[in-house]
């Protein structure tokens, strides 16, 4: 079993790609959301907790294509706060679906295709093509989920049509790792800690993946967004 964290330095290509993505993402967030947001996350009592990123790792297949890719600081703090506000606004309206009756999940609430997250999905697509070398991918959908005490993710593979999954953490106040576990085709388990702003990309229909049960205080939570693509 391997434990992966992210690297401290980005290459010039990566910096350029993330800068371009940030401009796209900024345009995807409604102006009224921006005006209510502070960089400290004070609006709606949101604070974004960053850990020091020490290293990085990703798996490459025999053809040189990324199969498990860790994207450090994919979203900056401001983008995380903006997206968190949108997720929490849906939660406040009780517009998120309770997932505890699904055998794959525990005490979590989520919703697919929130319009602002769908715009992020489109904005991410050129960057994901660049990172993976997969030019034949088509955006499928986004999903937003808030995890509370008792949440988990049972071992599973994604349904057909969700060929590529990018998981991004935008908020966590649990002050401990809650890693994503991914088993590759050789039976090797990769344990990936995704801190706020970080993303992990996997072949969700090929690799079994899961999270252990989340044991935290009732007041704590984790917010994740998921972006899916399919092969044309």
The one-digit pLDDT tens for each residue of the chain (232 residues) are 444 433 222 222 233 344 555 565 666 655 544 433 333 332 333 333 323 222 344 566 666 666 889 999 999 999 999 999 999 999 999 999 999 998 889 999 999 999 999 999 999 999 999 888 899 999 999 999 999 999 999 999 999 999 999 999 999 999 899 999 999 888 889 999 999 999 999 999 999 999 999 999 999 999 999 999 999 9
C-alpha 130/C-alpha 150 separation (Å) is 37
What is the gyration radius of the CA atoms in the chain, in angstroms?
17
The answer for 92, left when phi > 0, alpha when psi is -120 to 50, beta otherwise, is alpha
* pLDDT score for 23: 61
Q: Which domain holds residue 49?
A: 2-231
How many domains are there within the chain? 1
**Helix or strand holding residue 177 (H, E):** none
Q: Which residues pair with 4 in a beta bridge?
A: 192
pTM: 0.79
- Cα→Cα distances 177→3, 79, 105, 169, 195, Å: 11, 22, 18, 12, 8
Neighbour order of strands in the sheet with 199-203 = 59-60, 66-71, 199-203, 164-172, 222-231, 137-147, 108-112, 97-98
Contact 50, 196 (CB under 8 A): yes
The whole-number pLDDT of residue 35 equals: 37
DSSP assignment of 29-50: S-HHHHHT--TT-TGGG-----
Residue 174: closest CA among 156, 202, 194, 189? 194
CA–CA separation, 169 vs 101, rounded Å? 23
Domain of 190: which CATH number? 2.60.120.620
Percent of the chain surpassing pLDDT 90: 63
Task: Give, for 16, the enclosing helix (H) or strand (E).
Answer: helix 12-28
In this structure, what token pair is assigned to residue 176?
Answer: 């401990």
**pLDDT at residue number 65:** 61
């Amino acid at each position: 079993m391997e434990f992966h964290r992210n690297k401290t330095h980005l290459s010039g290509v990566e910096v350029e790609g993330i800068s371009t993505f940030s401009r796209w993402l900024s345009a995807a967030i409604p102006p009224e959301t921006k005006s209510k947001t502070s960089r400290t996350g004070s609006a709606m009592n949101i604070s974004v907790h960053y850990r020091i990123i020490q290293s990085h790792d990703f798996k490459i297949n025999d053809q040189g294509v990324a199969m498990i890719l860790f994207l450090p600081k994919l979203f900056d703090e401001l983008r995380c706060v903006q997206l968190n506000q949108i997720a929490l606004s849906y939660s406040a309206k009780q517009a998120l679906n309770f997932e505890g009756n699904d055998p794959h999940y525990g005490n979590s609430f989520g919703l697919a295709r929130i319009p602002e997250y769908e715009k992020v999905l489109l904005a991410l697509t050129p960057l994901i093509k660049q990172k993976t070398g997969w030019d034949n991918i088509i955006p499928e959908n986004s999903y937003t989920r808030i995890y509370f005490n008792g949440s988990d993710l049972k071992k599973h593979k994604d349904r057909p049509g969700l060929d590529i999954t990018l998981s991004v953490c935008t908020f966590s106040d649990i002050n401990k790792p809650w890693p994503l576990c991914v088993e590759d085709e050789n039976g090797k388990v990769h344990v990936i800690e995704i801190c706020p702003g970080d993303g992990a990309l996997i072949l969700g229909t090929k690799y079994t993946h899961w999270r252990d049960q989340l044991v935290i205080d009732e007041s704590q939570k984790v917010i994740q967004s998921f972006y899916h693509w399919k092969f044309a």
